[in-house]
Amino acid sequence: MACAPLAKSKPSAVKRKYVNFVNFNHEVAQHWAIFLMGWWLSMLDKSKVNRRFSVAPMLDWTDKHCRFFHRLLSRNALLYTEMINVHAILRGDKARHLDFDASEHPLALQLGGSGAHLLAQCAKIAQDWGYDEVNLNCGCPSERVQSGAFGACLMAEPQTVADAVKAMRDACEIDVTVKHRIGLDKNESYDFVRDFVGAVAQAGCSTFIVHARNAWLKGLSPKENRDIPPLRYDVVHALKRDFPELEIIVNGGVATMDAVTEQLTHVDGVMVGRHAYHDPYWLAQIDGAVYGDPQTPLTRIEILTQLEAYARAQMALGVPLRVMTKHWLGLFHGEAGARAWRRHLSDSKVLALNDAACLWFGVAR
């Protein structure tokens, strides 16, 4: 004999109110848990700069107009200013040297100098200005920089660099990093760079960006110093093995995604300079390949549309078009018509018109 189904009793009014109260509070708790987790992660992200890929500081190249362009190409790459002398910041027009567009984050300021007290002042200014990192240049080999007793020649004075790093860290809460070479002149002893890193690390620096070439202080121009001294990636890899607790970023000569991937098996990050500048759209693959970002990169046309709007806004502030376009000439590198487009945007008569519409020369909207 089949049993009749049990009758479902209706909950009392009090019980319904209790269930609704519990459900409501559960939903509120879930909402706040999600909010707090998001807030905590955002704070975590802000406190730790991701240096898995970065665009190198390049004198006269990586100004704010160049960096705005590079940010359109990669949402995640760490960007650097060109090297700025501490005296230019402390005695000059701070806004001209330090201002940047909010979209440029994450962004690091690279300083040139050697006096600990001056570098400390600039580190504090960098933090107050909103930079995410402040970097000390110990790798530039130019004679002009050497005459100011900073750049690559500082590698011969590790205690001076250590004192500067300590003063900078005491003056600010953002990351203080050092960019340097693997040696000076023709001294290829690994002990030299190992001892330099060890001394500076004791002052509290935990991130070293290592250009995998020696700096020849005499006999080579800065341009030749980027090509003639041989690349020795094995030295950078050895630093990571000897200092596993430090963040080691390799720089120099990397120009393919395969090379980036290979280097990331040995070190914590890769910095690319000239290749990113001359073939900038190469950066559009970085977010997906290095960071696993599923978002589709902007097309060249979408980027050009944003550059036009940016140029118009900057010109309204009195910035000449030519100051911006010189950094954007590589956008169509390797594409049909790229040479004619570059030639048009390099024409002084065209640029003198200060009309952002010239960006669309030969380009179908």
Which entry of 140, 172, 205, 358 is annotated as an active-site residue? 140
Give the containing element (helix H, strand E) for 133: strand 133-138
Q: What is the 3-state secondary structure (H, E, C) of 163-214?
A: HHHHHHHHHCCCEEEEEEEEEECCCCCHHHHHHHHHHHHHCCCCEEEEEEEE
Greatest alpha-carbon pair distance for the chain in Å reads 106
Q: Quick check: bond before 106 cis, omega within 30?
A: yes
Q: Report helix, strand or coil for 248.
A: strand
Classify 136 as helix, strand or coil.
strand
Integer Cα distance of 365 and 359 in angstroms: 11
Amino acid identity, position 151: G
Q: Do the Cβ atoms of 235 and 208 come closer than 8 Å?
A: no
Q: Is-catalytic flag, 140?
A: yes
What's the per-residue H, E or C state across 144-166?
A: HHHHCCCHHHHHHCHHHHHHHHH
Positions annotated as catalytic residues are: 140
